[in-house]
Copies of this chain bind each other. A is one copy, B any other.
Amino acid sequence: MDTEQFTIPLWLELTAVGLGGIQGALFASGFRGERRLDLLGVAIIGTVMGLGGGLIRDLMLGLPPASLQSEWYLPVVVVAAFIGMLLAAPLQRVNAVIVGLDALVIGLFGAFGTSKALSLGVPIIPSIFVGICSAVGGGILRDMLMSLPVSIMHVGSLYAVAAGAGCAVLAILHLFDVPIFISGLIAVAVTTVIRWLAVIFDVSLPEQRMLYRRKVATETGLIPIVRR
């Protein structure tokens, strides 16, 4: 095991953090009615999506969060969140962008989580678990902060499965001493493709949207729904 596994390059982690921030802000900007967030609320959700996964990973590994050891993470994620807000209006209906970004972000965070855990000597199965929690943790925190049903519980099967598949592939390739650069790339690709396929074949996102609609509708009376 060489030392390159012990640190995720800063530029790469900041890229994932920035993409997470953009994705979070795009998601948060989409709400209307009672759940509408102000500027700061959108920035908070962007920050949570950008930094949440890494924070959970480091807590699980018993490390002080990497994002608090450097000046870079917070400015990057906040700027990314504001970019996400600006893009929200033109991209609102381009759901493909939001979902595609999301798939990439969970792939990256999953790969970071599993490889960091492995490099610290955590056994294989817990390392995969740390990767999954890094990948989906930001979204869970987001849903809790926004008082939304935690999406991974209801429609998230393929979400968590996609993350888990990528992390497992990385861990298995690690057993065969495949360099982390290659195994990480394959892991991100596996997660992203599974997630995309799930959305293309309509497995999860529409149901998720419906769930939100229904919940918002019940609470605000803003959206007419047919009671089942």
Q: Give A residues with C-beta under 8 Å from B.
A: 34, 37-41, 44-45, 55, 59-65, 67-71, 73-75, 117, 122-126, 129-130, 140, 144-150, 152-154, 156-157, 160-161, 211, 214-215, 218-222, 227-228
Q: Is the CB of A122 within 8 A of B153?
A: no
Complex Cα–Cα for A71 and B124 (A):
7
Name the one of B65, B145, B146, B161 contacting A62, with C-beta atoms under 8 angstroms. B65
Residues of B within 8 A of A44 (CB): 152-153, 160
Complex Cα–Cα for A46 and B127 (A):
19
Name the one of B126, B153, B211 contacting A146, with C-beta atoms under 8 angstroms. B153
A63 and B62 in contact, given A71-B126, A140-B145 (Cβ under 8 angstroms): yes
Query: For the complex formed by this chain, how many copies does it contain in all?
Result: 3
- The 10 closest A-B CB pairs, nearest first, are A62-B64, A68-B126, A221-B227, A40-B157, A71-B123, A147-B149, A41-B153, A74-B125, A71-B125, A145-B150
Q: Is the CB of B154 within 8 A of A37?
A: yes
Distance of A55 from chain B, by nearest CB (Å): 8
Residues of B within 8 A of A38 (CB): 154, 157
For A51, the closest partner residue in chain B by CB is B129
Name the one of B61, B153, B161, B218 contacting A219, with C-beta atoms under 8 angstroms. B218
Q: Is the CB of A40 within 8 A of B122?
A: no
Complex Cα–Cα for A62 and B69 (A):
11
